[in-house]
């Protein structure tokens, strides 16, 4: 993988220094901010390939930065945090983070995560799927990354869209939880299946009818038009 432009928002000087040195050694363009608000300003002012984001920032919480960053663009977001609580993981992923790495971690693992999320993002952008997937009144346009229920556009986070698009590719079929996590979050995801449950719950709420996504006991989920 060639050149990438990475923004790091991290207030711990020792961790930031190690990350900056590692990415700089690859020839990547790495910028560093020590607080959330300056980081958000950089996100709005320039184009980025990946955002690396700590949660424990001195001005505003990284969870709020995640939410605001996702409103700025569709670039991959990797949370790097000492907060390993599942609630923080799920909330960050619900708000649009693509991966969550708990400190301490090795640089090789961080680089693998960066490459994985960037690869998925590039594949999604270049997939060339021209036609929208349709399930009754639900349409999912993978090229434009937009979903509509009738005339109403659904306001989805990137991961919510990817879960919906994944299920919509084979409506009526039951998909295993582990397979969805593997395909949507890639092999680098080591978290609980509760992360997927949280995304499905959010999708059901936004679709306005929980019957759109049926739970299949002992298996996972299937997408179908409510009868």
Distance CA 1, CA 120 (A): 13
The residue ranges of the chain whose pLDDT is under 50 are 128, 130, 187
The helix (H) or strand (E) run that includes residue 2 is none
Distance CA 138, CA 88 (A): 31
Contact 170, 195 (CB under 8 A): no
- Three-state DSSP at 92 gives helix
Q: Which fold has domain 5-126?
A: Rossmann fold (3.40.50)
Distance CA 18, CA 42 (A): 21
Q: What burial class does residue 85 get, using C-beta atoms within 10 Å of its C-beta: 0-12 exposed, 13-18 middle, 19+ buried? A: exposed
Distance CA 115, CA 217 (A): 34
Q: Is there a shared CATH topology between the 5-126 domain and the 133-223 domain? A: no
The helix (H) or strand (E) run that includes residue 64 is helix 62-72
Residues forming beta bridges with residue 31, ordered by sequence position? 7
Distance CA 71, CA 188 (A): 25
Q: Where are the domains of the chain?
A: 5-126, 133-223
DSSP state letter for 86: H
pTM above 0.85, yes or no: no
Q: Which fold has domain 133-223?
A: Arc Repressor Mutant, subunit A (1.10.10)
Q: What is the pLDDT of residue 128?
A: 46
């Amino acid at each position: 993988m060639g050149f990438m432009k990475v923004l790091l928002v991290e207030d711990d000087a020792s961790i930031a220094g190690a990350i900056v040195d590692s990415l700089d050694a690859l020839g990547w363009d790495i910028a560093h901010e020590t607080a959330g608000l300056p980081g958000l300003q950089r996100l709005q002012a320039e184009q980025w390939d990946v955002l690396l984001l700590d949660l424990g920032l001195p001005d505003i919480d990284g969870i709020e930065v995640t939410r605001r960053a996702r409103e700025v663009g569709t670039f991959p977001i990797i949370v790097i945090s000492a907060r390993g609580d599942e609630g923080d993981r799920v909330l960050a992923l619900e708000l649009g983070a693509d991966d969550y790495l708990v400190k301490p971690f090795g640089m090789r693992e961080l680089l693998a995560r960066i490459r994985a999320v960037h690869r998925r993002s590039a594949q999604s952008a270049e997939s060339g799927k021209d036609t929208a997937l349709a399930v009754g009144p639900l349409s999912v346009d993978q090229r434009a990354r937009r979903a509509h229920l009738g005339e109403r556009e659904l306001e989805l986070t990137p991961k919510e869209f990817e879960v919906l698009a994944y299920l919509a590719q084979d409506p009526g079929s039951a998909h295993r939880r582990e397979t969805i996590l593997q395909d949507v979050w890639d092999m680098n995801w080591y978290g609980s299946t509760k992360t997927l449950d949280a995304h499905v719950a959010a999708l059901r709420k936004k679709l306005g009818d929980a019957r759109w996504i049926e739970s299949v006991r002992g298996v996972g989920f299937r997408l179908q038009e409510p009868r």
